[in-house]
């Protein structure tokens, strides 16, 4: 987000608060209660925004994380495209060997737990 976007959003929220205050007064609420309700609604909105932000942070659903993931995938894809068929076959054999080793260790681990 650019600085001008942040300034625009801030001014928009400020204007929305003022508009809400005047709407509440037009509806018939006195100025003190209209001010209290306006502040309560704006603070509630800020709190909801904060909760959504914290939710995105804990789920690693932030823009930077997504950009990093996309970059890593692009680098791996480019490396795969640059590999010769022999190198690809060697890599595939290595991956299959690791999968077999992992499956064997998992079976041994579960077999060891069942004997206990």
- What token pair was written down for 75? 């680098």
Residue 83 DSSP symbol: S
Q: Where are the domains of the chain?
A: 3-61, 67-115
pLDDT in tens, the chain (116 residues): 789 999 999 999 999 999 999 999 999 999 999 999 999 999 999 999 999 989 988 887 778 888 888 999 999 999 888 889 898 889 899 999 999 888 888 888 877 666 65
**Beta carbons within 10 angstroms of residue 17's beta carbon:** 16
Residues whose CB is less than 8 angstroms from the CB of residue 88 and which lie 6 or more positions away in sequence, other chains included:
80
How far is the C-alpha of 34 from the C-alpha of 30, rounded, in Å?
6
Q: In whole angstroms, what separates CA 74 from the centre of its chain?
A: 20
């Amino acid at each position: 987000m650019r600085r001008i976007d942040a300034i625009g959003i801030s001014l928009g929220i400020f204007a929305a608060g003022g508009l809400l205050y005047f709407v509440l007064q037009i509806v018939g609420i006195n100025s003190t209660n209209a001010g209290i309700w306006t502040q309560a609604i704006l603070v509630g909105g800020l709190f909801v925004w904060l909760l959504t932000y914290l939710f995105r942070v804990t789920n690693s659903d932030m823009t930077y994380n997504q950009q990093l993931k996309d970059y890593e995938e692009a680098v791996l894809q480019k490396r795969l495209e640059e590999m010769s068929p022999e190198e690809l076959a060697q890599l595939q054999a290595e991956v299959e060997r690791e999968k077999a080793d992992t499956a064997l260790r998992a079976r041994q681990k579960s077999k060891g737990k069942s004997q206990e």
